Each structure stands twice: as structure tokens, then as C-alpha cells.
Structure 1
Amino acid sequence: MARPPGDGEGGRGGAGEAGRGSRAPPTTVVTMDRPPPRPRTTRGISLGRVLGARIVLTPSTLVMALILAAIYGMGDDGFTRQGFALGLSVAILLFASVFLHELAHTAVARAFGRTVDEIVLTFFGGHTQFRAEDPKPVETGAIAAAGPLANAVVGGIAITVAGAVDGTVGEVLWYAGLLNFILAAFNALPGSPLDGGRVVNAVVWGISGDRWKGHRWAAQGGRIVAVAVIVVAVGWPLLQGRGIDLIAAIWAMFLFSVIWPASTAELRAATVLARRDQLSAHGLAVPAVGIPYDATVAQARVVAASAHAREVVVLAADGKPAGHFPVSLTDAVPEEARDATTLMSVTMPVVRGAVIPASATGDGLVSAVVPWLGRTDVLVVTDDDGQPVGIARLDDIREALG
């Protein structure tokens, strides 16, 4: 599985896994003197590096290898060493196939100039983690497709060679080819979090120009795949009047428990993030106009009326926002007293520097708002010249962002 932090991933060399891109990623603020933080490293047995990526083998992988070996070792005549050796060989070939799958993701990601951090082999497969700032549809699809394609090629070679080799070696090669074809076919299924789902995402994204629409289509495909796995393993045998294979049913339930939550989470995240991209600080703000602190209530009402503003931002001597008040609040000031009443009598303070640009949208809006959570109730929205054009309430922004 190709795992770029901050966006969708490729598929998985194995059962599939909920990606980190299934929900909104944390926003990284990059400054000139502070590099962005590196992703956390996965705990496990380090096997060195390839193409700049750290190879990690989780301890559970060894457990899986022994379980597979034991299953093959149990024959009609009980446990046999030959069966165990064959099973162990198949397990090793399986994880070698998964590694080749992830290596293909890594190679293509590097070809697109991406930094690959890790290749992780896990209990039920693996994933490749790489950095994918500003992803593009073409590279997303190409990186995802590389894994199943590599397995299909390896499977074809192994089956071909197996036909020319006799004995145990030929049998092991035949199993290796079969496992690679299974990995290729399963990961090519058109639903997240599998590779095929990432390809669907890339195609829909490329055609529509809507990144989140691609995620939604891939996520819906993942939910269809999850249900189809149960239908094939459990429903189909029942319809044919046959008994249910217990092992197949267990695997089907496991795959469903992985694919359905992952695709559902991606669907939910894509819906929220698409809505965020359509939001802007200006759209969430109440129209406002800036007025110097030494103006009177009467003057403020005239300026606000001409600007069609519902809020007034009181500017300090240096021209920075120092307070605000709704224009309607001045209705409480007697008309005969408005020319002599200063704005201090109706002004509510604004935290110094609590300003966001009107053009802030999506992740930029989130980045601008997060530092002020818990520090103020309102933010002053300004235009490109730094002039107040609105007042945005934090509660309204939080609700809109979901």
C-alpha cells in the first residue's frame, strides 16, 4: 500500500488498510528557519534501506509466517515436516511478493520525485509511506497501479518457470505465481483502501478536476467491494445449497472489517474536506467596516450605512483592530446623544492580532483559525490591503468546518 501522508494512498500488498489520508491531515506550517517534521517511524525490525526507504518488518509478520507454515504442515496424515517446510516456503514467498509490491510503489513514487520514508511489512500485508505534498491525479494513479502490476508480472514469470521445473521447486514456484496473481487481482479491485480504489480516485479526479469527488467514488467502491466479499464467501455458497467454508468466511469477515470502516471514513472525510474547500473567511463573516477609535456613534452609523456593514471594527491609533460592535447596538444610544457619544461606550474588545485574510479557504482557513481557538470569540476579516471587511465568529467557523 502506498501511504502518502496528507492525501489518499495506493492499495495494499495484502488485505488492505485504512489510510492516514482517510481523514483530514494535520496542517504543517513551514517557516524558513524550521523544516517540516518528519513522519514518525514504525516500530519493528529494520532490514536496511532500498531506494532511500527504510524497510521495516513488524514482529507479527513472523507470527503470520509460522501460522501459514503450520496450516500447510497439517495434512491428512497429521503434521509433517515436508508440509511445514512447504508452508514456510510459501509464507516467505508471500512476504517477498508483498515486498515487491511495495517496492514497485516506492520506485514509481521516487520517479515522480517523492521522498519515500518507509516500506513496512505487516501481519496482513504491507504499506509504503511517502510524502505527497500537492499530489496530482496522474502520479496518484501511477503509484497505486504499480503494485498490482508488479505482482501480475512476477506471477506470470513464476508460473511460466514452474512449468519447466519438476519437484518441490516447481511446486513452490507455482504457489508463488498463484499468490502474486491473487495479490494483483485483489489489490486491483476498484475500491478504497485498495490500489484499484486509488486508481478510480485518480481517474475521476483527473476527468472532473474535483479531488474530493475522486475520493468519494473510490470510497463508495470500497464499500461495494466489502459487501461483495461477504456475498461471495457466504451468500453464494448458501444460494447454491452448499455449506460455508469456515476459513473463507473468517477471511471474508476480516476483510469486511478492514475495508468497510476504511472506505466509510474516507467517504466522510472527503465530504467534509470538499465542504471546507468551498468555504472562505469572507463568506463566513458578517460584513464590517473599520472606523477610527475617536469617531462618534453618529459618525459610525453613517459610515456603516453607506458601506452596508452590520458590524463596526474600531481601529486603534496605529490603524490596527482594537474592538468591534454590531451597528444595531447603537440603537440603544439616544438619538440626541449620538453626536457626543464616543465608540468606547458600545465597543467590545478584540484580541490584538486576531485577524485572518478574507481570501483564506480550505486548509488555509483552518491554519489561520487554529492558533486563535480558546483565545478569542471573534476574528477580524481583512482584505488584501489589511482593511477590515468582516467579523467572523469562531463558533460559526467551527460549525461550518465540521
Structure 2
Amino acid sequence: MSQPPPRARKPRGITLGRVLGARVVLMPSTIVMALILAAFYGTGEDGFSRQGFSIGLAVAILLFVSVFLHELAHTAAARAFGREVQEIVLTFFGGHTQFRSSDPRPLEIGVIAAAGPVTNAVVGAGAMAAAGAFDGMTGRIMSYAGLLNLILAAFNALPGSPLDGGRVVNAIVWGVSGDRWKGHRWAANGGRIVAVAVIVLAVGVPLLTGSGVDIVAAIWAMFLFSVIWPAASAELRAATVLGRREKVTALSLAAPAVGVPFDATVAQAREVAARSGAREVVVLTADGQAAGHFPVALTEAVPEEARATTTLMSVTMPVVRGASIPASATGEGLVEAVVPWFGRTDVLVVTDDDGLPVGVAKLEEIREALS
């Protein structure tokens, strides 16, 4: 079932236009970081250099263009699979493409993720090859463009979330195992390994070899760690919880039940329950809706000689009309079915494909199983 469109929210960033149906957004911080990078290149041992500033600004623009091509590739791949792309957000350190991902499939998730690094690799290789045909500043800038794209391709291809390589790992593991959340767990653990490896390479190795730690490299490593580790950890936690939910069904959490008409006697209800092996009885109205329930054990309190003449009113506990969920409900479907009933009832009637009661589940037990 398709999801309703998200509520409109105040636009963020600077809208540059639309590409392939997606709004292209430039975050203001990108402009600030571009000027900082230009100033960094423009300031050397001999003071400020206009040529250095120009090179730095060119590098910043090339990085921006490279990120845009990366996200554009994601957008094109998503559109090829029929996905609606809402937004391409560009930042100085990267970007992301937002598209509707309901009912995802491993193949398309992997292809969409791989499209970005592959595009950067192709552009980078082409720019490096073409750089030799130009002299002076043009050739230098072409080399920078090639190097930037190759670095973006290599970094994003690392096999861990939230990088594109992690999404490819997720798709492969999911496709092979058939377990979506196992794919997420592998990708998340890969992301944690990548985050630690960045610190080890930038700080640990230089300390162990005595070569000295490069301060700029260490700062970058700490920045990347602060982005990758929390994102990977959050995905791992979510995948663990959601994976557990997929194994839980409404029927597995319910006490076996059977439905009986409201005008039945206690003796008749006990007989029907005994034949079906039910521990709960659901009392049905004339139109077949659940009006109440009671544990079969509760009828033991009714004297045996009075059971044939005692109506169910003496043992029945009311059920909110319509408080039922399908027996096959699992995972997010079970969550969606249960959430509307919190605070309105204590139990839910579990029904089969024909709408007949087959169980009674306590709402609190369902909540504990899904949390």
C-alpha cells in the first residue's frame, strides 16, 4: 500500500532549480566552506596569494560539481526504477538524495547506491586522462577534478553504512540471505569498522611508526568518525529491533481462542472451546462482531449444575468494537495495526483471513514484544 505524501514543510537551503523532477537544494554552509577552502589555498608562507585563492576556489567548485554529479547519478538510477525523487541536498562535505523507498528491493537498492561512486570513478578517470592534454592552470585544475572524483568514488565505496558501499553490502547480503535486516546489520557493522579504521590510519599508524601525526588529517579523521560511527550505530540498533519484529506475528502473541454466539450458554461455550483447544472464548454479536471475551478457566467458577442455563454475561469481559488485528500481521504491519488501540483497550481479538476469531492478545504483551 502506498504511503501518503509527507506534510509540506518549510523549504530549507537555497533552491537552485529542479533536475529529473527533484528539487536541488544548496545548503548555505557550502558557500562558507568554499570560501574557507579558497582562503586556505590562498594563504601560504609568503602571505596571501591571489593565484592560490583562485585555485582553492576552483577546487571548492569542482568538489561541489563532483558531489552534484554523484547525487544526480543516484537520482537517475532511482528514476529508472520508477522511484519518485523529492530532493537533492548538496553540502560541502557531501549530499543526499531523498526518494520514496516504500517496498524496496535488494537489486534496486544496490544499483541506486552504486550509481554515485561509479559515476565519480568514470568522471575522475576521464578528467585525469584529459589533464595531460592541457598545459598550465587548465591542466592543473583538470588533475584536481580527476583526483577529487576518484577520492569521492573510493571513499563512498567503502563497505559500511552510511556510505554507498554499505548500502551495496546491505543489498548483497539481503539478496543472498533473504533477510533484509541482516543486510542492514552487516552494513552497520561495516560502517563501525570503517569509522575505527579512519582513526587508526590517521592517528594510530603515525604514532606507532613514529612518523608524527598530521594535524589536518587527524581533524578530518575525527570529523569522519563523528559522522560515520553514530549513523552506523543507529542503523545497527534499528535493524536489531526491526529484525526481531519481523519474527513476531499477532497469532504468536495471542492465546488460542474461538468465537461463540452471544446467546450461547456457559456449557455450550466450554464444549466449543474444548473441541478447538481454545483457552479464550470470544463472544460474538448477531452481526459476527466481537463484543467480549473470557478465559475458559474463568467458567470453572460457575457451578457445574448451573452451566447449562447460565448465559455468558456472567463471565464476559467487554471488548471495544472493532478492536481486532489479522493473525498474519507482523513487523511494521503489526505495529501499524496495534498503535491506534493503545489507551483504548487492553486486549485485541486476533482474526483469520475470514475474519473469524482465532486468538486474544494482550496489548501490553504485544508492546513488550515489539519494543
Normalising by structure 2, we get a TM-score of 0.96
**Structure 2 counterpart of 1:390, from 359, 363, 370:** 359
Q: Percent of counterpart pairs with the same letter? A: 77
Cα deviation, residue 399, structure 1: 1.1
RMSD: 1.6
In structure 2, the partner of 1:143 is 112
Where structure 2 has 5 or more consecutive residues not aligned to the other structure, the ranges are: none
Where structure 1 has 5 or more consecutive residues not aligned to the other structure, the ranges are: 1-27
CA distance in 1, matches of 2:217, 2:181: 34
1:174-193 → structure 2 map (5 Å cutoff): 174-193=143-162
Does the Cα contact within 8 Å between 2:185 and 2:235 map onto a contact in 1?
Answer: yes
Q: Which amino acid aligns with 2:98?
A: Q
CA distance in 2, matches of 1:136, 1:318: 41
In structure 1, the partner of 2:219 is 250
Higher deviation after alignment, 385-394 or 360-369: 360-369
Does the Cα contact within 8 Å between 1:322 and 1:350 map onto a contact in 2?
Answer: yes
Cα deviation, residue 142, structure 1: 1.1
In structure 1, the partner of 2:312 is 343
Residues 42 and 152 (structure 1), Cα distance of their counterparts in 2 relative to 1, 3 Å cut: farther
In structure 2, the partner of 1:311 is 280
Cα deviation, residue 267, structure 1: 1.4
**Structure 1 counterpart of 2:252, from 268, 279, 283:** 283
Does the Cα contact within 8 Å between 1:29 and 1:36 map onto a contact in 2?
Answer: no
CA-to-partner distance for each residue in 1:147-197, whole Å, 9 max, x for gaps?
Answer: 111111111122122222122222222111111111011001011110111
Cα deviation, residue 314, structure 1: 1.0
Q: Which amino acid aligns with 2:224?
A: L
How many residues get paired?
371
CA distance in 1, matches of 2:190, 2:8: 29
**Structure 2 counterpart of 1:326, from 265, 282, 295:** 295
Higher deviation after alignment, 83-92 or 153-162: 153-162
Cα deviation, residue 242, structure 1: 2.0
In structure 2, the partner of 1:37 is 6
CA distance in 2, matches of 1:36, 1:246: 46
In structure 2, the partner of 1:236 is 205
Cα deviation, residue 389, structure 1: 0.7
**Structure 2 counterpart of 1:91, from 60, 65, 68:** 60
Does the Cα contact within 8 Å between 1:156 and 1:177 map onto a contact in 2?
Answer: yes
CA-to-partner distance for each residue in 1:111-131, whole Å, 9 max, x for gaps?
Answer: 122111111102421111111
In structure 2, the partner of 1:166 is 135
Q: Which has the higher contact order (CA 8 A, sep 6+)?
A: 1
Residues 29 and 93 (structure 1), Cα distance of their counterparts in 2 relative to 1, 3 Å cut: closer
CA distance in 2, matches of 1:392, 1:54: 46
In structure 2, the partner of 1:16 is none
CA-to-partner distance for each residue in 1:204-253, whole Å, 9 max, x for gaps?
Answer: 11222222211111111111101100100110000101221111111111
CA distance in 1, matches of 2:105, 2:302: 57
CA distance in 2, matches of 1:111, 1:302: 60
Normalising by structure 1, we get a TM-score of 0.89
CA distance in 1, matches of 2:8, 2:156: 25
Q: Which amino acid aligns with 2:147?
A: L
2:76 is equivalent to residue 107 of structure 1: yes
**Structure 1 counterpart of 2:234, from 265, 273, 276:** 265
In structure 2, the partner of 1:15 is none
In structure 2, the partner of 1:208 is 177
CA distance in 2, matches of 1:393, 1:305: 22
**Structure 1 counterpart of 2:102, from 105, 130, 133:** 133
Does the Cα contact within 8 Å between 1:200 and 1:214 map onto a contact in 2?
Answer: yes
CA-to-partner distance for each residue in 1:252-281, whole Å, 9 max, x for gaps?
Answer: 111111111111111121122222222211
